[in-house]
Amino acid sequence: MSDTTTSANRLARYQTSAHIAGVVAAVLGIVSVLLPWSYAHEPLDDVAYYGAPSPLQYNYLGLMVIVLVMFGAPLALRRKGKFRDRIAWNTGARFGGYAMLATALVAVAGIGIEAGGLVNVDPGGWIAVAAGVLATAAGLVLLPSAAPRTGTFRTPAWGQILAIAVGLAAVLFAAAYALGLTDSGAFLFYLTFALGLALTLVRVGLFGWLAQCAADNKKVLVFAAFLVAFLFPFTQNGSDANMSIATQVLFFSATALGLNIVVGMVGLLDLGYIAFLGAGAFTSASLSGSLFAHINWHPPFIVTVLISGVVSSLLGLLIGTPTLRVSGDYLAIVTLAFGEIFRITMNNLDGSDGPNITNGSNGINNVPELGLFGFNFGDPHVMLGVTIGRFANYFWLMLIVLALIMVVFVNLNRSRIGRGWVAIREDELAAEAMGVNTFGLKLLAFAGGAFLAGVAGSVKAHYDVSVTPDQYVFLESAFLLAAVVLGGMGTVMGVLVGATVLKLLPEKLRFFSDYRLMLFGLLLVFMMRFRPEGIIADERRQLEFHAEDEELAEEVEGELIAYHDHYNPDAAKTEELR
């Protein structure tokens, strides 16, 4: 304790110098983008020219401006006031420094790897690293500010809505830009920059203010978020590559949300969830009228969707009925086995031994495009001067499916059934003693989750064109589970973020595809160590994982009682007997 106080006193004298050093570092960073970073042109989408920043470097320039403000504001705001005191300038500046250093290092490393050696790094790159080192050093000298209280700023309603609009527009733009980057190094650079920037803005308190704006205008936010997602295809100008990734993210998110009911809300560990997606896909493909399908009945898609959901939920009932009566570990083992049994069964239903339904490992190919109300999802069409391709059509359809699943999820969460589910997760025996039909509710969650997966699968069959058993392997179940855990169990937003991260990263970072399992493993380990409640935490979960203080308080209380009883045994007894 005294150590930190004295070192704080020592540091206190250098605060102004540190602020000035930080400003110098930011200016240095701005100068660096005017110089070439690399001798060769290929790395990072060409950062080799003089006098002006490359498109990628404009991001870095933006970061510099923000760091400049972080370090400069305390110098400019000498008088006390809400802007000086409620915003955590120093903490923001420190994280801005880290972000500068990290992006500069990624840039230099990227240039070194892609161009073959650090000799290709030009002075601009080294100046950026030096600026990063200086800013980090200056940030470390700064005394951390108190926690930001930006949520207490009073903002007029139009200001809040404007803030939400600007925030979402920034997200849309950033996502569109990130998807447009094809160079792995450039994507990694951008990712580092975006994470660093986000962290800086969180630390300085901007997000606290945005969260307050969002909380005050929840409906506006939800509507606007969907509007932004809806507008996304227009930013892609018919680029199929990116729309395909975005649509896959939506499929993954919708499935993960279904799994989130089972795992996040009820706490049932399902390791074979992908089989329900597969069951929906195979059902849908079999009824689709594909030449390779073996069922000669082609109901309209609306009917197929329902049948797929029902088939999946029947499988859920089949697995759930015997296993949900026993404790959780058995369920994990049985579902794990079920996932494998599903895949192997689909592989073997090839007619050599029993009926031919799936054509074995060849699967059902040439699933026709989806037709709904006379509209063929394979047809591109032009809207507001932008070509809306096949992938964009499916993107919009999945957006609607996702919205429906979200509505179901949120309403369930608030309902009596939802309360029963959470009670089962918290303490199954106590829930049973309260009159919660634990077995029935668990079965409902299991079958309901399977239904949602079946629905997603039935669309996916058309989107993928071919349905084969090897699309539905254990690894996919593991990824779904990782998305739920990473994002935050039991929350909608968290799972969307987790699913996006897990689906987007491997698509964009092709060069690390060999190591992707190892990296996800590491990511999960780190998450469990530093933020076990996930990226976006459920309020209840947060309590669960940070309960040390609470337990300590209980321990002390227990000891006090023991102490009291030990020294006043007679007092206690006589008082009661009186």
Q: Is 503 in the site for other proteins (CB under 8 A)?
A: no
Interface residue with other proteins among 41, 325, 381, 540 (CB under 8 A) is: 540
CB of 527 to other proteins, least distance (A): 20
Residue 547: CB minimum distance to other proteins, A: 7
CB of 554 vs other proteins, minimal distance in Å: 7
Q: Which one of the spans 22-30, 51-59, 308-316, 560-568 is the region binding other proteins (CB under 8 A)?
A: 560-568
356 versus 568: smaller Cβ distance to other proteins: 568
The single residue among 40, 214, 431, 496 that binds other proteins, judged by CB under 8 A, is 431
| Segment lying near other proteins (by CB under 8 A), choices 84-92, 231-239, 452-460, 549-557 | 549-557
C-alpha closest to that of 77 among 19, 17, 147, 143: 19
Backbone angles phi, psi at 78, to 5 degrees: -80, -30
Sequence-separated (6 or more) residues with CB below 8 Å from residue 446: 262, 268, 270, 316, 317, 319, 320, 324
Taking the mean position of all CA atoms in its chain, how far away is CA 386? 29
Q: How far is the CB of 549 from other proteins (least distance, A)?
A: 10
Q: For tokens 């949900």, what's the residue?
A: 324
Please tell me whether residue 170 binds other proteins under the rule CB under 8 A: no
* Residue 482 contacts residue 524 (beta carbons within 8 Å): yes
Smallest gap from residue 318 Cβ to other proteins (A): 22
487 CB-contact burial (10 Å; exposed 0-12 / middle 13-18 / buried 19+) = buried
CB of 329 to other proteins, least distance (A): 18
DSSP per-residue codes, 42-89: TGGGT---SSS--HHHHHHHHHHHHHHHHHHHHHH--S--HHHHSS-H
Strand partners, 387: 382
C-alpha–C-alpha distance, residues 501 and 198, integer Å: 15
435 binds other proteins (CB under 8 A): yes
411 C-beta neighbours (distance < 10 Å), count? 11
Nearest distance from C-beta of residue 328 to other proteins, angstroms: 17
Task: Note whether 329 binds other proteins by CB under 8 A.
Answer: no
Q: Could you say whether residue 573 binds other proteins (CB under 8 A)?
A: yes
Count of positions (residues) in the chain = 578
Which residue number, 361 or 574, has a Cβ lying nearer to other proteins? 574
- Residue 536 engages other proteins in binding (rule: CB under 8 A): no
The packing angle between helices 569-577 and 548-567, to 10°, is 80
The candidate with the shortest Cα–Cα distance to 138, out of 28, 59, 62, is 28
Identify residues 398-427 at the interface with other proteins (CB under 8 A).
Answer: 416, 419-420, 422-423, 426-427
Task: For other proteins, give the closer residue by CB, 167 or 267.
Answer: 267
Angle at 8 between CA 7 and CA 11, to 5 degrees: 85
Give min distance, CB of 213 to other proteins, in A.
Answer: 23
Measured from the CB atom, is 271 or 324 closer to other proteins?
324
Say whether residue 544 binds other proteins (CB under 8 A): yes
> Rounded to the nearest 5°, which phi and psi values hold at 331?
-60, -45
Residues in 61-120 at the binding interface with other proteins, rule: CB under 8 A: none
Residues 363-402 binding other proteins (CB under 8 A) are none
**Least CB distance from residue 53 to other proteins, whole Å?**
49
Based on the shown chain and the rule CB under 8 A, indicate whether residue 571 belongs to the binding site for other proteins. yes
The residues, ordered by sequence, that sit 6+ positions from 227 with a Cβ below 8 Å of its Cβ are: none
Residue (377 or 421) nearer to other proteins, CB: 421
How far does Cα 482 stand from its chain's mean position? 10
Who's near 191: CB < 8 A, 6+ residues apart?
178
Q: How many helices (H) and strands (E) does the chain have?
A: 24, 4
Asked if 433 touches other proteins (CB under 8 A), the answer is: yes
Task: Record the tokens describing residue 123, joined without a space.
Answer: 């002075």
User: Contacting other proteins (CB under 8 A), which of 94, 460, 508, 541?
Assistant: 541
Span from 5-13, 95-103, 353-361, 552-560 in contact with other proteins (CB under 8 A): 552-560
Binders of other proteins: how many residues, by CB under 8 A?
37
Q: Is 559 in the site for other proteins (CB under 8 A)?
A: no
| Whole-number Å distance between alpha carbons of 431 and 257 | 24
Q: In the complex, which residues of this chain contact other proteins (CB under 8 A)?
A: 416, 419-420, 422-423, 426-427, 429-438, 540-541, 543-544, 547, 550, 554, 557-558, 560-561, 564-565, 568, 571-573, 575-577
